[in-house]
């Protein structure tokens, strides 16, 4: 029995453009065309959004199962058919095209090992499949990034190569001879033209219905300029969407922009209103969709935000402002006929839906699961020798200044290993790049590169100590108009082996390792480096109670700090630090976890304080706006002209799993009398401070 199926599609095909089209799962009977639907209602601007989980348990892997148990390796491209089926490009180590049915169950459509082969279903092979799009006949198109090709999956599930030779290059012409360079985005017009974001050629290409490949817009090198097709420049275009008028919209990732390409190739930039701080709200846009009436949705892989944007440049953040709704790497999105957004979060191995908030709020599940395994357990260091100790000079969560007098500017996000300037930086694990823009900061102190879930920072990426390029097959030098190298490009899908040279240490004289996607960084000390040892108990320098004006209580009676029970809530502040074996004696490091408990005059824990309340735990990096919540004044480096690092933790505030909350201790919760405030300060190795941990208190 024939059934009619309606769609609005993947990577931004709109309801208006496809009002009378249909798609079906590969292998299903072809549906019959139906009369056009009534015109959809206008899309509201700034609607109250709720993030909902569609599939994925937040652990990287491969498992076809029901929604909550399914696993993905690098969920990227997304397309949705009218019957509710979602098609998903699952890259990483999976290299599969998968589907999520309307009932939430997950199955594999095509793909097998990483490779380049046509054929039916699992006889085919992909290499880092990225963007997806459906045409009006139910054919699925795949931007096969690592194979530098555009693939086609028929309704029967047969995979063929539409265009591309499998070798990176730039050439227009017949599909079998045309060349691309790491295409990531793809979209299909109502007329059957396939548009391609040829990402590392920095061009927008088009495949005509007869298979001929041409260039719609963009030039021979990256840039940021509007104008006619051959004059315009893009920089790492990643996602495409086609509006009801046939205009192609582009997420121009490194230009921090949304670009508009007319049918004749003329390019212009959508000017977004700046934030109150004067910044462009886009940082690295990677996901794009457009409604029937021209409102744009953009997902940003750097900020984790999903923005709704009007043609006049007004915008709102639909989700991501709240930590519990922050995505780690929004990679692609598509819409349904009711206006809900479906999107992939590649860094968290999940697929989500953004829909109007329900009367009863849904418990949001965002970010990787705490059960997600570490990328390796071999314990390698990023410097020679990889199997022996190196000095550690920084840990996650430490307070950092801005170098201009503000000592509590941000929180340290990784694990720092000291090295000599010019020393080679080595991969600590086998890895495959997922991020379309995996290197940054050329020539700056913060230059770095991201390989899978590990970032290596403070190095000359892909260059030796003299600044000369190395391994140009993987690290591609990009020249400016003057012919001089202006950055090193690292393509999505590039593979590395443990021990491969990534670059050399820059003048920062250390390697900063960050573990996890932006916003969900884990403590890299958990990687377990060979020879790393910590037998030192943390040192507690001082314990203070601060009043509402953040001034320390100072009055004492018989050696006890005198506190009035009428005193408003106070902060408990502890100055403490740690060391690790074989480090320089002056090297102060931050702690892993801190807490406190109350003891009576005889030293017995009070009810509710049988165990310390471990309010601070740096298992994941908190947001930088929590710096002054977790650290009291005079924390940081070079405070009052001193080179000593001071960590003054506010123990009445809370950070766990990267989430922050404020709090106070209320003196009136205890009856008058003598007490002991006992501090628990521990490092990652489990050593706990003993000296200086008690403060005698008299409540009156």
Domains of the chain plus CATH, in order, are 53-356 (2.120.10.30), 392-527 (2.70.70), 539-699 (2.60.40)
Could you give the CA distance from residue 295 to residue 664 in angstroms, rounded to a whole number?
45
Whether the predicted pLDDT of 1 surpasses 80? no
Q: What is the pLDDT of residue 643?
A: 63
Could you give the CA distance from residue 318 to residue 298 in angstroms, rounded to a whole number?
10
| Closest by Cα among 629, 58, 49, 626 to 325 | 49
DSSP letters of 637-672? Answer: SSGGG----B-EEETTSEEETTEEE---B-GGGS-S
Does residue 230 sit in helix, strand or coil? coil
- Between the two ends of the chain, the Cα-to-Cα distance in Å is 83
In 501-577, DSSP assigns E strands to 501-505, 510-515, 539-546, 556-557, 560-563, 571-577
User: CB-based contacts of 22: which residues, under 8 Å, 6+ apart?
Assistant: 4, 5, 6, 7, 31, 33, 34, 82, 136, 138
Could you give the CA distance from residue 394 to residue 615 in angstroms, rounded to a whole number?
21
Query: How many helices and strands (H and E) does the chain possess?
Result: 1, 52
419 and 390 Cβ atoms separated by less than 8 Å = yes
Does residue 277 sit in helix, strand or coil? coil
Does residue 132 sit in helix, strand or coil? strand
27-77: pLDDT as tens digits: 443 433 344 567 788 999 999 998 999 999 999 999 999 999 999 999 999
673 and 665 Cβ atoms separated by less than 8 Å = no
Q: What is the pLDDT of residue 361?
A: 67
Whether the predicted pLDDT of 22 surpasses 50? no
Mean pLDDT in the chain?
91
Whether the predicted pLDDT of 483 surpasses 60? yes
* Band (324; pLDDT cuts 50, 70, 90): low
Give the best-scoring range by mean pLDDT among 196-210, 308-322, 330-344.
196-210
What does the angle CA 271 – CA 272 – CA 278 come to, to the nearest 5 degrees?
115
333-379: pLDDT as tens digits: 999 988 899 999 999 999 999 998 876 667 678 888 888 888 776 78
538 and 687 Cβ atoms separated by less than 8 Å = yes
What does the angle CA 657 – CA 662 – CA 668 come to, to the nearest 5 degrees?
130
Per cent of the chain over pLDDT 70 is 92
């Amino acid at each position: 029995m024939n059934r009619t199926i309606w769609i609005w599609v993947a990577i931004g095909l709109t309801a208006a453009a496809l009002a009378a089209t249909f798609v079906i799962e590969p292998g299903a009977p072809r549906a019959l065309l139906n009369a056009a639907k009534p015109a959809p209602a206008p899309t509201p601007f700034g609607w109250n959004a709720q993030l909902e989980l569609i599939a994925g348990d937040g652990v990287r892997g491969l498992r076809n199962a029901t929604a909550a148990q399914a696993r993905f390796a690098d969920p990227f491209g997304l397309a949705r058919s009218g019957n509710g089926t979602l098609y998903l490009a699952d890259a990483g180590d999976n290299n599969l095209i998968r589907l999520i049915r309307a009932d939430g169950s997950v199955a594999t459509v095509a793909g097998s090992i990483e490779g380049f082969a046509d054929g039916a279903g699992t006889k085919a092979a992909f290499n880092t499949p990225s963007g997806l799009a459906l045409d009006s006949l139910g054919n699925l198109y795949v931007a096969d990034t690592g194979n530098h090709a555009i693939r086609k999956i028929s309704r029967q599930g047969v995979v063929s190569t539409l265009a591309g030779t499998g070798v990176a290059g730039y050439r227009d012409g017949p599909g079998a001879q045309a060349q691309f360079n790491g295409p990531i985005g793809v979209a299909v017009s109502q007329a059957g033209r396939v548009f391609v974001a040829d990402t590392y050629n920095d061009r927008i290409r088009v495949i005509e219905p007869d298979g001929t490949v041409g260039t719609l817009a963009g030039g021979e090198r990256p840039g940021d300029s509007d104008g006619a097709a051959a004059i315009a420049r893009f920089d790492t275009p990643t996602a495409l969407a086609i509006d009801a008028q046939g205009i192609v919209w582009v997420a121009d990732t490194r230009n921090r922009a949304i670009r508009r390409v007319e049918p004749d190739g003329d390019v212009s930039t959508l000017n977004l209103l700046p934030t109150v701080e004067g910044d462009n709200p886009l940082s690295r846009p990677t996901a794009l969709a457009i409604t029937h009436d021209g409102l744009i949705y953009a997902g940003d892989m750097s900020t984790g935000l999903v923005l709704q944007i009007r043609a006049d440049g007004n915008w709102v953040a639909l989700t991501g402002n709240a930590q519990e709704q922050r995505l780690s790497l929004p990679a692609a999105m598509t819409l349904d006929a009711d206006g809900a957004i479906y999107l992939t979060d590649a860094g968290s191995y999940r697929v989500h839906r953004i829909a109007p908030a329900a009367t009863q709020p849904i418990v949001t599940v965002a970010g990787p699961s705490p059960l997600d395994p570490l990328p390796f357990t071999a314990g390698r260091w990023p410097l020679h020798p990889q199997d022996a100790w190196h000095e550690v000079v920084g840990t996650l969560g430490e307070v950092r200044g801005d170098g201009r007098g503000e000592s509590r500017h941000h929180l340290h996000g990784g694990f720092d290993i000291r090295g000599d300037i010019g020393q080679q930086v080595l991969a600590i694990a086998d890895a495959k790049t997922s991020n379309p823009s995996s290197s940054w900061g050329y020539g700056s102190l913060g230059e770095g590169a991201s390989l899978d879930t590990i970032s290596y920072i403070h190095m000359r990426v892909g260059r030796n100590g003299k600044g000369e390029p190395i391994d140009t097959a993987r690290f591609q030098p990009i020249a400016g108009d003057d012919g001089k190298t202006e950055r090193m490009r690292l393509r999505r899908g590039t593979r590395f082996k443990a021990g491969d040279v990534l670059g050399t240490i820059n003048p920062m004289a250390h390697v900063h390792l960050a573990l996890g996607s932006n916003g969900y960084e884990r403590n890299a000390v958990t990687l377990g480096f060979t020879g790393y040892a910590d037998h030192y108990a943390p040192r507690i320098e001082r314990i203070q109670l601060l009043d509402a004006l953040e001034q320390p209580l100072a009055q004492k009676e018989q050696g006890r700090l005198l506190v009035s029970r009428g005193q408003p809530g106070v902060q408990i502040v502890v100055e403490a630090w740690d060391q690790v074996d074989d480090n320089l004696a002056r090297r102060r490091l931050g702690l892993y976890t801190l807490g406190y408990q109350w003891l009576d005059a005889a030293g017995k824990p009070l009810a509710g304080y049988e165990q310390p309340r471990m309010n601070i735990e740096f298992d994941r990096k908190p947001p930088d706006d929590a710096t002054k919540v977790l650290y009291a004044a005079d924390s940081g480096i070079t405070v009052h002209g001193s080179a000593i690092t001071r960590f003054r933790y506010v123990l009445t505030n809370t950070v766990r799993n990267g989430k922050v909350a404020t709090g106070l201790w209320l003196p009136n919760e205890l009856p008058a009398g003598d007490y002991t405030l006992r501090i628990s300060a521990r490092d990652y190795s489990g050593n706990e401070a003993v000296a200086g941990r008690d403060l005698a208190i008299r409540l009156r």
